[in-house]
Amino acid sequence: MGKGSSKGHTPREAKDNLKSTQLLSVIDAISEGPVEGPVDGLKSVLLNSTPVLDSEGNTNISGVTVVFRAGEQEQTPPEGFESSGSETVLGTEVKYDTPITRTITSANIDRLRFTFGVQALVETTSKGDRNPSEVRLLVQIQRNGGWVTEKDITIKGKTTSQYLASVVVGNLPPRPFNIRMRRMTPDSTTDQLQNKTLWSSYTEIIDVKQGYPNTALVGVQVDSEQFGSQQVSRNYHLRGRILQVPSNYNPQTRQYSGIWDGTFKPAYSNNMAWCLWDMLTHPRYGMGKRLGAADVDKWALYVIGQYCDQSVPDGFGGTEPR
């Protein structure tokens, strides 16, 4: 009777099923207000130099929330931005026998957000199969001299890249107090099990609704995971401050009609003469408390403004305001 033959085993790899969801939530102060606002809606909001919507109105970046405030004195707080936070980046590995501890001293915070995760989470069998695994962490706060577990977290699944998650803890004790991240799963001692854990950061959160009077702002919320490891930059194409311009002036056409009677009206303009008038005479952000309108020669500025609006060659076969 001949020898039997054994069939070879083809290693199998389970699909990665852990995906980080990191929400970028930021308010950018743009200008002293009020301003006219974005030139063309979400087409004027650029994240990492890419507009949220393209010129045809198609979505370039998904899952974006944008809130704009023009910078009025009585403007309402931006919806969805009812808290502000200060993040402290750690990026520290958490080992089984070495909990990581930090001290909180800030007096006015209401909550803490802990961001943590794994560098990778995968277990390789002796046959070469790559399977999900799990690891357990504790978020603890020191209360009345003893450590209290606020969150008991088990990360379960498979990922071959970094995975981050976060939890929020409220009901904070009097300051100062200690916080720590503790690993309950023994550290891996073999390359067949990848389960290194890290404490990425903690964020001190203040719950307050702020209107930011007289400040033009843009609030942006977006899932930053779609940008990978890149820091998300924000740029905005806006028409700026509402200025006082001559009452016979059309800022859009840059035309002056008839004889100016010396009075002004509010409008957006990027004419340097009227930007200068605004800076010299505005009582809040300009020099208006030191200079009166009578101290600035508006008639000379009127001539300068007309000069600035004259069309000159732009170097590309067209014209542009001087």
> Among 24, 15, 13, which Cα is nearest to 164's?
24
Alpha carbons 5 and 8: distance in angstroms, whole number: 9
pTM for this predicted structure = 0.71
- What are 321's two structure tokens? 């305001």
**Which residues, 6 or more positions from 217, have their beta carbon under 8 angstroms from its beta carbon?**
27, 28, 29, 30, 68, 69, 71, 78
Beta-bridge partners for 23: 223
Q: What is the pLDDT of residue 247?
A: 98
Q: What is the pLDDT of residue 2?
A: 52
Taking a C-beta distance cutoff of 8 angstroms, is the pair 270, 242 a contact?
no
For the chain, which residues make up each domain, given as ranges?
Answer: 23-235, 240-321
Residue 1 has pLDDT above 90, yes or no: no
Taking a C-beta distance cutoff of 8 angstroms, is the pair 226, 40 a contact?
no
Taking a C-beta distance cutoff of 8 angstroms, is the pair 66, 59 a contact?
no
Taking a C-beta distance cutoff of 8 angstroms, is the pair 168, 180 a contact?
no
Q: What is the pLDDT of residue 208?
A: 85
- What are 252's two structure tokens? 């859009």
For the stretch 276-311, pLDDT in tens is 999 999 999 999 999 988 999 999 999 999 999 999
For the stretch 213-247, pLDDT in tens is 999 999 999 988 788 768 899 999 999 999 999 99
Q: How would CATH label the architecture of 23-235?
A: Sandwich (2.60)
Q: What is the pLDDT of residue 137?
A: 98
Range 81-103 average pLDDT: 94
Residue type, 190: T
For the stretch 28-56, pLDDT in tens is 999 999 999 999 999 999 999 999 999 99
Angle between helices 298-308 and 272-281 (to 10 degrees): 150
Alpha carbons 133 and 18: distance in angstroms, whole number: 11
Q: Distance of CA 239 to CAs 39, 203, 242, 247, 310, Å?
A: 6, 34, 9, 20, 20
Q: What is the pLDDT of residue 21?
A: 76
Count the neighbouring beta carbons within 10 Å of the beta carbon of residue 285.
Answer: 13
Range 72-79 average pLDDT: 94
For the stretch 151-201, pLDDT in tens is 999 999 999 999 999 999 999 999 999 999 999 999 999 999 999 999 999
Whole-number average pLDDT of the chain: 94
DSSP letter at 108 equals S
Taking a C-beta distance cutoff of 8 angstroms, is the pair 244, 268 a contact?
no
Beta-bridge partners for 113: 168, 203
Residue 82 has pLDDT above 90, yes or no: no
Q: Which of 23-32, 100-109, 168-177, 258-267 has the lowest mean pLDDT?
A: 23-32
Range 109-115 average pLDDT: 96
Residue 85 has pLDDT above 90, yes or no: no
Taking a C-beta distance cutoff of 8 angstroms, is the pair 236, 218 a contact?
yes
- What are 180's two structure tokens? 């720590």
- What are 212's two structure tokens? 């930011």
